[in-house]
Amino acid sequence: MPQRTVYQTTIEHLQILDEDAKLDTKLAKDTLTDEEVRDLFEKMVIYRHFDEVGFKLQRSGRMGTYPQNKGQEAAALGSGYAAKKGTDFLVPCYRENAALFLHGLPMHNILLHWMGDERGNQIPDGVHMTPLSIPIGTQMLHAAGIAWAFKIRQEPRCVITYFGDGATSEGDFHEAMNFAGTLQAPCVFFCQNNQWAISVPRESQTASETIAQKALGYGMPTTQVDGNDMFAVFKATREALDRARAGGGPSFIEAVTYRLADHTTADDARRYRDTEELEAWQAKDPIIRHRKYLESKGLWDDEKQAETEARAKKIVQEVVKAAEGIDKPNFEDIFDYTFAEIPESISRQRDTGRTSSLGQNPDQIGLQAESQRV
């Protein structure tokens, strides 16, 4: 047989709760209980409010640039909930706050980060994640490395790393996938395909039919899910994590979702995005869908919504207070965290607040050696 097919596959798309909140009960079996959906939905409402407040803080000059997460909460919550809190490790970019909160990151950390304060990156003990990652597509390699360490030490732990559709164009993405594949590292690559990388739409980002199929080249199981459906996201992620934990290596998930807000507060998506497209996706907002589902189950109503929104307001008020109430960081911190042991040239810069040699050594010019800090 001189010519034969050596490889053939298909990419599956999984949806369990459709846009009209109709549940495929067969596929939903052993995924999320109604109580779990209700609890996650409460969080969705709270985190959505947090996100809107983040936007307002920027607009009122109380915070720097902020990238809204709006519309992608089901992807973050469904996947985050599938990972074992306190055991598994999250390696995020910056549009999955809900997953980080679910795994124990204090909410004010995120605000601190965007308020220009490194203390927002101090992850508490027992919370397993890296801080937000700003350059696009670089953090997946760290995920591969962390997962590799788990494998070497034979710990039953997995890594889940988050990134967007744009990140899959970066070279590091491909290197991370290749490393995880060849090392059979317990790592789940979770792509939030939100259709836009700032102004560049998904179809201009890659000529690939799906993002999911990019994983085929690295020998890992891959699937596409409706990213606004917590059932589908949870199911696919849990399967991938179970497989990784059992020694089955990495997996890839493309969660099809949508960036309902601008790229960041520094962006204006109206310059490049059609209103019709935005409106079509607004109708698929995970908040609408999951609320409708819970209402159909008698687990949610207007009263519960109002009560949750009021609670969200209170929680987020406290979070903002915590973020804004913190003292200005110490000038010395710039220097003190450069190395474990600070070289003399740096401690001299810290102590004098100067880089000029005369400023650092006033004796040279007959000035008194008082603090020269300006």
Among all residues, which ones are annotated catalytic? 259, 263, 272
Tokens 């409402």 locate to 45
What is the C-alpha separation between 249 and 240, in angstroms, rounded? 9
Among 56, 247, 272, 321, binds other proteins (CB under 8 A): 272
DSSP code at position 338? S
What is the C-alpha separation between 266 and 256, in angstroms, rounded? 24
Among 122, 247, 280, 331, binds other proteins (CB under 8 A): 331
Cα atoms found within 13 Å of the Cα of residue 56, Cβ hemisphere only: 9
Tokens 């999984």 locate to 14
Among 357, 368, 369, 370, binds other proteins (CB under 8 A): 357
What is the C-alpha separation between 198 and 350, in angstroms, rounded? 39
Q: Dihedral, CA atoms, 103, 285, 66, 122, nearest 10 degrees? A: 0
The piece of 25-33, 238-246, 252-260, 359-367 that touches other proteins (CB under 8 A) is 359-367
**Would you count residue 305 as binding other proteins (CB under 8 A)?**
no
**Would you count residue 169 as binding other proteins (CB under 8 A)?**
yes
Minimum distance of other proteins from residue 197's CB (angstroms):
5
User: Residues with Cβ < 8 Å from 272, sequence gap 6 or more?
Assistant: 199
The piece of 97-105, 219-227, 238-246, 324-332 that touches other proteins (CB under 8 A) is 324-332
> Residue 86 — left, alpha, or beta (φ > 0 → left; ψ -120 to 50 → alpha)?
left
**Would you count residue 83 as binding other proteins (CB under 8 A)?**
no
The piece of 31-39, 48-56, 135-143, 303-311 that touches other proteins (CB under 8 A) is 135-143
Among 104, 219, 248, 359, binds other proteins (CB under 8 A): 359
**Would you count residue 358 as binding other proteins (CB under 8 A)?**
yes
Among 365, 368, 369, 370, binds other proteins (CB under 8 A): 365
* CA distance readout (Å), 254 to 204, 211, 213, 224: 17, 6, 9, 5
**Would you count residue 137 as binding other proteins (CB under 8 A)?**
yes
| Contact of 366 with 360, CB cutoff 8 Å | no
Among 275, 356, 363, 370, binds other proteins (CB under 8 A): 356
Q: Dihedral, CA atoms, 29, 89, 118, 122, nearest 10 degrees? A: 100
**Would you count residue 355 as binding other proteins (CB under 8 A)?**
yes
**Would you count residue 118 as binding other proteins (CB under 8 A)?**
yes
* CA distance readout (Å), 95 to 33, 65, 91, 312: 26, 13, 12, 19
| Contact of 268 with 262, CB cutoff 8 Å | yes
User: Residues with Cβ < 8 Å from 284, sequence gap 6 or more?
Assistant: 19, 228, 258
Minimum distance of other proteins from residue 167's CB (angstroms):
7
**Would you count residue 208 as binding other proteins (CB under 8 A)?**
no
The piece of 5-13, 19-27, 198-206, 290-298 that touches other proteins (CB under 8 A) is 198-206
Angle at 117 between CA 115 and CA 123, to 5 degrees: 115
**Would you count residue 221 as binding other proteins (CB under 8 A)?**
no
**Would you count residue 171 as binding other proteins (CB under 8 A)?**
yes
What is the C-alpha separation between 166 and 263, in angstroms, rounded? 12
The piece of 2-10, 33-41, 240-248, 347-355 that touches other proteins (CB under 8 A) is 347-355
**Would you count residue 117 as binding other proteins (CB under 8 A)?**
yes
**Would you count residue 198 as binding other proteins (CB under 8 A)?**
yes
Q: Is 316 helix (H, G, I), strand (E, B) or coil?
A: helix
What does the block give as tokens for 252? 């890839």
What is the C-alpha separation between 358 and 366, in angstroms, rounded? 10
> Which residue, 33 or 364, is less far from other proteins as judged by CB?
364
**Binding residue count for other proteins, defined by CB under 8 A:** 54
Here's the x/- map for other proteins, 231-270, by CB under 8 A: it reads as -----------------------------------xx---
Binding site for other proteins (CB under 8 A): 64-65, 113-118, 134-138, 166-167, 169-172, 197-200, 204-206, 266-267, 271-272, 328-329, 331, 333-335, 338, 345-346, 349-350, 353-359, 362, 364-365, 367, 372, 374
